[in-house]
Chains A and B, each alone.
Chain A
Amino acid sequence: MGVRNKGLTFYLFNIFAYTVIIILTILCVMPFLLIISGSLTDEVSIAIDGYHFIPKVFSLEAYKTIFTFPQTVIKAYTVTTVNTIVGTSLGLFFMSMAGYVLSRKDFKYRNRITFLIYFTTIFGGGLVPWYIMITSVLKLKDSYIAICYPGLMAPFLIILMRTFITSSLPDEVVESAKIDGAGSFKTYYSIVLPIVKPGLATVGLFLALNYWNDWFLSSMFISTPEKYELQFYLYNMLNSYEAINRLVSSGVTLATNPPAESIKLAMAIIATGPVLLFYPFIQRYFVAGITIGAVKG
Chain B
Amino acid sequence: MHPKSGFLKEVKKNHVLFIMLIPVFVFFIINNYLPMIGIYFAFTRYSIRGGLFGSPFVGMQNFEFLWKSNILLNITKNTIMYNTIFIFLGNAIQVFSAVLLSRLIGNVFRKITQTLMFLPYFVSYVIMGVLVYNLFNYEIGFINTMLRDFGAEPLDIFNDPNMWYGLIPAFYMWKWVGYGTVIYLASILSISNEYYEASELDGANVLQQIWHITLPLIKPTFIILILFALGNIMKGQFDLFYQLIGNNGNLYASTDIIDTYVYRSLISDFDIGIGSAAGLYQSFFGFILIMTVNFLVKRKTPEYALF
Q: State the A residues within 8 Å of B (CB).
A: 1, 3, 6-7, 9-10, 13-14, 16-18, 20-22, 24-25, 27-29, 31-32, 34-35, 38, 46-47, 49-53, 94-95, 97-98, 100-101, 104, 106-109, 113, 115-118, 120, 122-133, 136-138, 149-150, 152-153, 158, 183-185, 188, 209, 212-216, 219-220, 231-232, 234-235, 238-239, 261, 264-265, 268, 271-272, 275, 279-280, 283, 286-287, 290-291, 294
A97 touches B130 (CB 8 A): no
- Using an 8 Å CB-CB cutoff, how does the interface string of B119-156 with A read, 1 for contact, 0 for none? 11111111101110111010111101100100000000
B178 touches A28 (CB 8 A): yes
In the docked arrangement, what's the CA distance between A136 and B123, Å?
A: 32
Q: State the B residues within 8 Å of A (CB).
A: 10, 14, 16-17, 19-21, 23-24, 27-28, 30-39, 41, 51-52, 96-97, 100-101, 103-105, 113, 115-127, 129-131, 133-135, 137, 139-142, 144-145, 148, 174, 177-179, 182-183, 186, 196-197, 200, 205-207, 221, 225, 238-239, 243, 246, 259, 262-263, 265-267, 272, 275-276, 278-280, 282-283, 286-287, 290-291, 306-307
A47 touches B206 (CB 8 A): no
Chain A: minimal CB distance from B267 (Å): 7
A130 touches B23 (CB 8 A): no
Given contacts A127-B275, A234-B130, A272-B127, A38 and B142 within 8 Å (CB-CB) = yes
Contacts of B291 in A (CB 8 A): 122
A-B contact pairs, 13 of them (CB 8 A): A21-B113, A29-B119, A51-B145, A53-B142, A115-B307, A117-B28, A120-B32, A122-B287, A152-B27, A215-B126, A238-B126, A286-B182, A287-B186
Chain B: minimal CB distance from A261 (Å): 7
Contacts of B33 in A (CB 8 A): 120
Contacts of A214 in B (CB 8 A): 124
In the docked arrangement, what's the CA distance between A49 and B186, Å?
A: 45
Tell me what chain A mostly uses at the interface: helix, strand, loop, or mixed: helix
Contacts of A123 in B (CB 8 A): 36, 283, 286-287
Which of A131, A149, A234, A272 counts the most B-chain CB atoms under 10 A from its CB? A131
Contact of A129 among B36, B51, B134 (CB under 8 A): B36
Chain B: minimal CB distance from A208 (Å): 11
Which of A98, A104, A127, A265 counts the most B-chain CB atoms under 10 A from its CB? A127
Which of B16, B139, B290 counts the most A-chain CB atoms under 10 A from its CB? B16
B174 touches A27 (CB 8 A): yes
B142 touches A34 (CB 8 A): yes
B142 touches A52 (CB 8 A): yes
Chain B: minimal CB distance from A114 (Å): 9
Contacts between chains A and B (CB distance < 8 A), count = 275
Chain B: minimal CB distance from A119 (Å): 8
Chain A: minimal CB distance from B100 (Å): 4
Contacts of B104 in A (CB 8 A): 17-18, 21
Given contacts A127-B263, A185-B16, A231-B126, A49 and B145 within 8 Å (CB-CB) = yes
In the docked arrangement, what's the CA distance between A20 and B101, Å?
A: 10
B290 touches A122 (CB 8 A): yes
In the docked arrangement, what's the CA distance between A94 and B290, Å?
A: 28
Looking across the interface, which residue of chain A has its beta carbon closest to that of B9? A108
Contacts of B14 in A (CB 8 A): 106-108, 184
Contacts of A124 in B (CB 8 A): 32, 35-36, 283
Contact of B206 among A6, A113, A115 (CB under 8 A): A6
In the docked arrangement, what's the CA distance between A37 and B34, Å?
A: 49
Chain B: minimal CB distance from A30 (Å): 10
Chain B: minimal CB distance from A154 (Å): 10
